[in-house]
Amino acid sequence: LDEEAMTTIQGRLDSLTKPQGSLGQLETLAKQLGGIQRTSSPKILKKAVLLMAGDHGVVEEGVSAFPQEVTPQMAYNIMSGGAAINVLTRQAKADVFLTDVGIAFPLEGDIIHKRVANGTKNMAKGPAMTRQEALQALLVGAEVAAEKIQAGYNLFATGELGIGNTTPSSAIVALLTNSSVEDVVGRGTGIDDAGLIRKRSAIEKAIEVNQPDATDALDVLTKVGGLEIAAIAGSILQAAASHVPFVIDGFISTAGALIAAKLAPKSTAYMIPSHGSVEIGHCKALAGLGLDPVLNLNMRLGEGTGAAITFYIVEAALHILEEMATFADAGVSEKSN
């Protein structure tokens, strides 16, 4: 990040008519945006949720409350504008771009076609994908981000869709944050107690069978990851390389962000936290990235919903930086020492 721009912004923030630092995370966000855009007057031009979709062979193990057909059904719902993410991006005046990175069934319609495979394989029995597929899915994310940056977008949010995807996310978070499986496995879309036991067991089997190397994020992604999770990581890495910030949504998105952070640690400087999910592993994942969520909404939907709401807060930070009066302008006395 550009230290000079951030210093200039800090100076301006301290001259505004408020106690120094009293706008907390809004001030931090204004500085971060300036550092990323390498200017003391950061601007948001166009914003989008890059929503990556993929299926998961591990659903065979009975790890999800919803059947796998819901992935394509929800993809169509998003294409026709009826999903929560459509509602929240309309409110945010943002776009949502849905990419098929590997849904198990082929789809038609307003979706970016970048299918790497018909979903992953069952990780409880062997690797979720090949290393080649993992790399290809990372590149899908990078390509989509590059294309949208080219089209003038300069603020992104992660989003994802894929029945079963809290299971690989839990495996990733357990391995990359050195946490126990129990501490990072939650109820996803709402599985019951028996399902929770099956889910933990599937993750433990996947780790046992595949022996992923926790020091090699690509190995973790290949063996216990997901195609859409890889694409999320790839999109973040491309955006960071192009000096474009990324708002990180919930648990699955944060698993993708962890992969990105392990592959390129400097990419964390381009990440903006959004909400703290109900999914119990989310706080471990966020802590692994050093991110403190700004929203506390007890959400657990995914799709990018928490991140889309956060766009408003990022914009608030820039409005504060641009529009507030200084102590000198307004003739307000400064703090006594």
Binding residues for its own copies restricted to 269-288, rule: CB under 8 A? 276, 278
- For residue 294 the two structure tokens come to 């700004």
- 83 touches its own copies by CB under 8 A: yes
Q: By CB neighbour count within 10 A (0-12 exposed, 13-18 middle, 19+ buried), where does 180 fall?
A: exposed
Catalytic annotation present for 160: no
70 binding its own copies? (CB under 8 A): yes
Q: How far is the CB of 301 from its own copies (least distance, A)?
A: 4
Q: Is 108 in the site for its own copies (CB under 8 A)?
A: no
Under rule CB under 8 A, residue 152 binds its own copies: no
**One of 10, 39, 189, 201 touching its own copies (CB under 8 A):** 189
Compare residues 65 and 214 and give the one whose CB is closer to its own copies.
Answer: 65
73 forms part of the interface with its own copies (CB under 8 A): yes
| 295 lies in the binding site for its own copies (CB under 8 A) | yes
Measure Cα distances from 104 to 78, 229, 248, 333 in Å.
17, 15, 25, 64
Taking the C-alpha atoms of residue 145 and residue 231, their distance in angstroms, rounded to an integer, is 10
At 167, list the tokens: 């299971």
Task: For CA atoms 248, 254, 260, 264, give the dihedral sign.
Answer: positive
Residue 109 engages its own copies in binding (rule: CB under 8 A): no
Specify the amino acid at residue 258. L
User: Is residue 196 a contact point for its own copies (CB under 8 A)?
Assistant: no
The string of DSSP codes covering 109-175 is: SSSEE---SSS---TTTS-SS-HHHHHHHHHHHHHHHHHHHHTTEEEEEEEEE-TTTHHHHHHHHHH
Nearest residue to 215 via CA among 263, 179, 168: 263
Annotated catalytic residue: which of 303, 315, 322, 334? 303
Instruction: Report whether 246 contacts 274 (CB < 8 A).
Output: no
Which CB atom, from 22 or from 132, has the smaller least distance to its own copies?
22
Q: Indicate the SS3 state at residue 337.
A: coil
Segment interacting with its own copies (CB under 8 A) among 85-93, 118-126, 138-146, 172-180: 85-93
According to the binding rule CB under 8 A, does residue 293 interact with its own copies? Answer: yes
Give yes or no for a contact between 142 and 246, defined as CB atoms under 8 angstroms apart.
Answer: no
Residue of 11, 19, 126, 290 interacting with its own copies (CB under 8 A)? 19
Among 140, 224, 305, 314, binds its own copies (CB under 8 A): 305
> Where does this chain touch its own copies (CB under 8 A) — which range of 72-80, 133-141, 142-150, 173-181?
72-80
Nearer to its own copies, 151 or 332 (CB): 332
Residue among 66 and 105 whose Cβ is closer to its own copies:
66
Q: How distant is the alpha carbon of residue 311 from its chain centre?
A: 13
Three-class SS of residue 228? Answer: helix
As a whole number of Å, the end-to-end CA separation of the chain is 33
Asked whether position 323 contacts its own copies by CB under 8 A, the answer is yes
- Minimum distance between the CB of residue 166 and its own copies, rounded to whole angstroms? 11
Instruction: Kindly compute the dihedral angle of the four CA atoms of residues 27, 253, 200, 196, in this order, to the nearest 10 degrees.
Output: 80
User: For residues 150 and 33, what is the distance between their CA atoms, to the nearest angstrom?
Assistant: 19
Q: Which residues participate in catalysis according to the annotation?
A: 303
Binding site for its own copies (CB under 8 A): 16-26, 65-67, 69-70, 73-74, 76-77, 80, 82-84, 86-88, 90-91, 189-190, 276, 278, 292-301, 305, 309, 312-313, 315-316, 319-320, 323-325, 329-336
